[in-house]
Amino acid sequence: MTPISVLITIAAYFVILFLISYLAGRKADNEGFFVGNRKSSWYVVAFAMIGSSISGVTYVSVPGMVAVSGFSYLQMVLGFVAGQFLIAFVLVPLFYRMNLVSIYEYLENRFGMSSYKTGAWFFFISKMLGAAVRLFLVCLTLQLLVFDPLNLPFILNVVATVALVWLYTFQGGVKSLIWTDSLKTFCLIVSVVLCIYFIASDLNLSFGGMVATIKDSDLSKMFFFDDVNDKRFFFKQFFAGMFTMIAMTGLDQDMMQRNLSCKNFKDSQKNMITSGISQFFIISLFLMLGVLLYIYGAQNNLFTPQDVAQGRMSSDEVFPLIATSSYFPMIVGILFIIGLISSAYSAAGSALTALTTSFTVDVLGIKNKKEDEVVKLRKRVHVGMAVVMGLVIVVFNLLNNTSVIDAVYTLASYTYGPILGLFAFGIFMKKPVRDKFVPLVAIASPFLCLILQKNSEAWFGGYKFSYELLILNALFTFIGLCLLITSPQPSPKERE
């Protein structure tokens, strides 16, 4: 595809997106921005959640990763589904019962202000880094397809990309995101299905032949029970997936804002379960696409799985290379661009909204402020969050030395662990703690995990930690909070 055709495709998509955003959010007040006035239908939220859960990282990285990991990622996705059930039946009723705008208000009610601010700041760091990494992949793809051919710098790419995210979220927040995410989910599913169809057709494969070819491929192995030191070992992947889902969805203001926009907690539970199961099947489609891409690449002497495994080619380049070059009709490239943009901007837009909500409500505070004061504050914060996101993308571009999907889950293991530990202690241990020391515990836990990761092979007979570091991180936080347990303070009547 030419740079101009890519830009026309993006422009057409965003015209539709801005129209939907305007119609959905034109009358949004602060409650509409933060929680969608709690009037969203559960099935609309469930459909939208598919697009918000599957980012541009999934769209580009997952098809390419089958060269090294096969279908082992589905082991983690099974953990995602289990995590969704736990969120639906443990966290959702709790958050609705407390009528929370920001889920981190729970920590203030349970422990105190220091814990509340700790949870909010860790979310801020986690979400900002994760969203920037995801959007970074989009910027890389646009740099390759548009900005490099036009001799335009990466910084201009970042400014344009972040500005588009800001434009379609500044008005309606969650109220807009539910409907724009529904559009993105539709585009995402259609694009991946049609890409599979075109590639299978070029390989002269019927539907049955395609399924048989994928099933017989060495790249489609799903379960790995043989070697506990392997990053693909089933129990590592499953439990890492389950706790990652709990942390990155159930304890993530971004994702829970959508769930809290449902009319009641039962509708929110239906949404969580439906979207979780749907995610398994859609990620399966991406992995199937990955096998077809490698078969096509090998038949046409473009690349092989060994090229990726041995580092001669990045796995993140596989899908863009095939989709946007002249090997297929232009419609395949257009579908790729629409799918990438829809999935990537979904994640970035919702992250920007959640960061604005959390920073406004949790860090700056809106209690005792008038409606118009909160609107002005929220809009200034929204601009500030967009600027910070752009700066983080630029820094990540200078430092990046790993695959993007690996970077996302590695960052999550370090930054979401303390949040998971705080909520787990709050829910299962009915004891107060010395609130002022909670930040020290939350900061110490990731450092202990880093020490373990650096020395695990020497200390544990060659064992390599993967994303299960998230569980250890949460456990260290939980143990640290146990050391801070204090006696309950007597009420004024008891002191008399």
pLDDT tens, N- to C-terminus, the chain (496 residues)? 688 888 888 888 777 777 766 665 555 444 444 444 455 666 677 776 766 666 666 777 788 888 888 899 999 999 999 998 998 888 888 888 877 766 778 888 889 889 988 888 888 888 888 778 778 877 887 888 888 888 999 999 999 888 887 876 665 444 556 666 777 777 778 878 888 888 898 889 998 999 999 999 888 999 999 888 888 889 988 998 898 888 878 887 767 766 776 777 788 888 888 888 888 888 999 899 989 989 988 888 888 888 887 877 777 778 887 877 777 777 777 877 877 777 666 667 767 777 787 777 777 776 667 777 777 887 888 888 888 888 988 887 777 655 566 666 777 788 888 999 999 998 888 888 999 999 999 999 999 988 988 888 888 878 888 778 888 999 999 999 999 998 765 544 434 4
DSSP conformational letter for 250: I
What does the DSSP assignment read for 139-208? Answer: HHHHIIIIITTTT--HHHHHHHHHHHHHHHHTTTTHHHHHHHHHHHHHHHHHHHHHHHHHHHHHTT--HH
Nearest CA to 290 among 50, 51, 65, 53? 65
What does the radius of gyration of the chain's CA atoms come to, in whole angstroms?
23
d(CA 378, CA 469): 35
Helix (H, G, I), strand (E, B) or coil at 262: strand
Nearest CA to 63 among 332, 393, 323? 323
Q: Quick check: 195 and 336 in contact, CB under 8 A?
A: yes
What residues contact residue 65 under an 8 Å CB cut-off, 6+ apart? 73, 290, 315, 403, 405
Is 0.85 topped by the overall pTM? no
Domains of the chain: 3-422 (1.20.1730.10)
